[in-house]
């Protein structure tokens, strides 16, 4: 058995906050997360249940869900010499990331602007917390590499690692006793033990809301973790219809912001930063600015952190969110004003996609609040930056009122919610994604405070809805969990937050 890591504070915190019962743990009941943080949480939680003596040689670990979190639990326990049963609903592992070739995942991305973020890896010390390591890459490639690792583990560990695909954990019957958990419904699986030492649920975060929960319209938007054509010329729609393409993104978080970046530039995140810095003259000055804003952004994030705290029982304080957004706008202002018109022209030419520059593709972003919501710093900065580049084009050409403020008002419809999406042509019935692809839709919006009736916003051909996730944890829990934000591990010298 290899030596166990000694980060006891993380063990205790994860154990405490994900515990549902003495032997049941829920890792999917979180408001916001990313692949990296789930891997870290899963690893610490597994070490903690082993350290508490719940999982032993006689009483293996049972894991529900074969995503990044579930497999991390399995790998952590296997590496400590213990046995694991992993139950997955689908017929293969890593369903979420396996389904897209059009997104990258990156363990360091969430740490921007810390120095290591652009390497695509986290520092070795923090990396020790990863049962399942990965580097920046296309999501399905990373998932394929993880699957191969799991195949090797199954070969290497034989009966110590049993993967049970095609079984829905919600249909299993659990009986929790003082000395272990017995499970009915696993009888068909290879060698199920009489009882398990602990059960960790890693069934994911539930259904992504890309539809109308109140059933006022039938349109279903793109799922985040599915292949899409947002990167293609004219969003892949141009081949199916002539004339201008109008895109709409609704929602204020990371998913929405990533797609705002993609629609305007064909890329996002790290690759977008590379493109912004690609011109030699701009390179040196933008890169220097980009590096120097780091500390300011971190300081801003820390100031507002208490109000946000990534806790789902604690709605963020709107004034703090507004202050957060304004502070970032100030940072963007200062970098923006340091570049010449010529440099900004260059960035606009080289970063904003040609169809947007030629006004064949237009974007509108609808936000329920007056500001973007909780999101990672890199997304907040990049979205604000590319919107300004876009507004330079729009202010000249698109907005009759002129001026960059007016242009931004045309692009960002803040404080409004979509109330209706309807087919723009009698011939098209909104039934599913295929029926709606490249079709015209009319969209109505109303102020989120209910102060006025809905009005027609316009006609759109791609509508991306990023309205959060309907959480469906497997186990009921009395108290909501706090988030373990693993970024703290990679910020040397900072005290641990109160988890």
Residues that bind ligand FAD (CB under 6 A): 28, 33-36, 38, 64-70, 87-90, 95-96, 105, 168-170, 202-204, 208, 224, 254-255, 466, 469
Nearer to ligand FAD, 69 or 362 (CB): 69
Cβ at position 165, least distance to ligand FAD in Å = 9
Residue 147: count other Cβ atoms within 10 Å of its Cβ.
16
Nearer to ligand FAD, 35 or 351 (CB): 35
Q: How far is the CB of 64 from ligand FAD (least distance, A)?
A: 5
- The gap between the terminal CA atoms of the chain, to the nearest Å, is 29
| Minimum gap (Å) between residue 470 Cβ and ligand FAD | 11
In the complex, residue closest to ligand FAD by CB: 67
In the complex, least distance from residue 103 CB atom to ligand FAD, rounded to whole angstroms: 6
> What's the min distance (Å) between Cβ of 327 and ligand FAD?
23
Least distance (Å) between residue 122 CB and ligand FAD: 12
Nearer of residues 238 and 269 to ligand FAD, judged by Cβ: 269
Contacts of 243 (CB under 8 A, 6+ apart): none
Q: Given the complex with ligand FAD, which of 92 and 160 has the nearer CB atom? A: 92
Q: How far is the CB of 286 from ligand FAD (least distance, A)?
A: 24
The smaller minimum CB distance to ligand FAD, of residues 108 and 113, is found at 108
Residue with Cβ nearer ligand FAD (30 or 335): 30
Q: 461 vs 466, which CB is nearer to ligand FAD? A: 466
287: tokens are 């890169």
Q: How far is the CA of 4 from the CAs of 44, 51, 57, 59, 156, in angstroms?
A: 11, 9, 16, 19, 21
Cβ proximity to ligand FAD, 28 vs 195, nearer residue: 28
Q: Which CB atom, from 23 or from 466, has the smaller least distance to ligand FAD?
A: 466
What's the min distance (Å) between Cβ of 62 and ligand FAD? 11
In angstroms, give the least distance from the CB of 466 to ligand FAD.
6
């Amino acid at each position: 058995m290899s030596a166990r890591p000694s980060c006891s504070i993380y063990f205790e915190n994860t154990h405490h906050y994900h515990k549902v019962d003495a032997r049941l743990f829920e890792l999917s009941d979180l408001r916001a997360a990313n692949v990296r943080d789930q891997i870290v949480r899963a690893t610490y939680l597994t070490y903690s249940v082993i350290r508490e003596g719940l999982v032993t040689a006689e009483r293996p670990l049972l894991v529900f869900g074969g995503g990044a979190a579930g497999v991390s639990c399995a790998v952590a326990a296997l590496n400590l010499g213990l046995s694991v049963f992993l139950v997955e609903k689908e017929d293969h592992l890593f369903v979420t990331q396996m389904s897209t070739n059009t997104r990258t995942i990156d363990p360091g991305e969430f740490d921007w602007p810390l120095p290591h973020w652009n390497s695509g890896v986290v520092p070795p010390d923090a990396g020790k917390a990863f049962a399942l390591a990965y580097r920046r890459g296309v999501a399905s490639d990373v998932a394929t590499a993880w699957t191969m690792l799991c195949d090797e583990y199954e070969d290497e560990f034989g009966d110590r690692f049993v993967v049970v695909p095609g079984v829905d954990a919600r249909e299993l019957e659990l009986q929790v006793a003082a000395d272990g958990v017995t499970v009915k419904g696993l009888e068909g699986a290879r060698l199920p033990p009489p009882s398990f030492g602990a059960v960790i649920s890693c069934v994911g975060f539930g259904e992504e809301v890309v539809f109308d929960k109140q059933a006022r319209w039938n349109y279903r938007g793109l799922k985040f973790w599915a292949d899409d054509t947002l990167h293609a010329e004219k969003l892949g729609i141009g081949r199916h219809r002539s004339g201008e393409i109008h895109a709409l993104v609704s929602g204020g978080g990371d998913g929405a912001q990533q797609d705002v970046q993609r629609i305007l530039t064909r890329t996002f995140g790290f690759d977008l930063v590379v493109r912004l810095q690609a011109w030699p003259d701009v390179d040196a000055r933008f890169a220097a600015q980009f590096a120097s804003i780091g500390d300011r952004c971190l300081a801003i994030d820390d100031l507002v952190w208490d109000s946000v705290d990534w806790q789902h029982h604690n709605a963020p304080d709107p004034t703090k969110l507004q202050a957060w957004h304004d502070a970032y706008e100030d940072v963007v202002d200062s970098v923006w004003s340091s570049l010449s018109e010529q440099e900004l022209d260059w960035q606009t030419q080289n970063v904003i996609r040609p169809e947007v520059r030629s006004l064949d593709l237009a974007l509108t972003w609808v936000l329920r609040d007056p500001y973007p919501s909780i999101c990672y710093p890199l997304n907040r900065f990049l979205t604000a930056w590319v919107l300004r580049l876009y507004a330079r084009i729009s202010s000249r050409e698109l907005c009759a009122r002129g001026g960059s403020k007016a242009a931004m008002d045309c692009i960002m419809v803040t404080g409004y919610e979509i109330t209706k999406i309807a087919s723009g042509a009698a011939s098209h019935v909104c039934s599913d994604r295929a029926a709606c692809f490249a079709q015209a839709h009319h969209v109505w919006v109303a102020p989120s405070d209910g102060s006025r009736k809905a009005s027609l916003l316009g006609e759109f051909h791609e509508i991306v809805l990023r309205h959060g996730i309907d959480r469906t944890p497997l186990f009921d829990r009395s108290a909501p969990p706090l988030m373990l934000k693993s970024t703290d591990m990679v910020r040397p010298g900072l005290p641990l937050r109160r988890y």
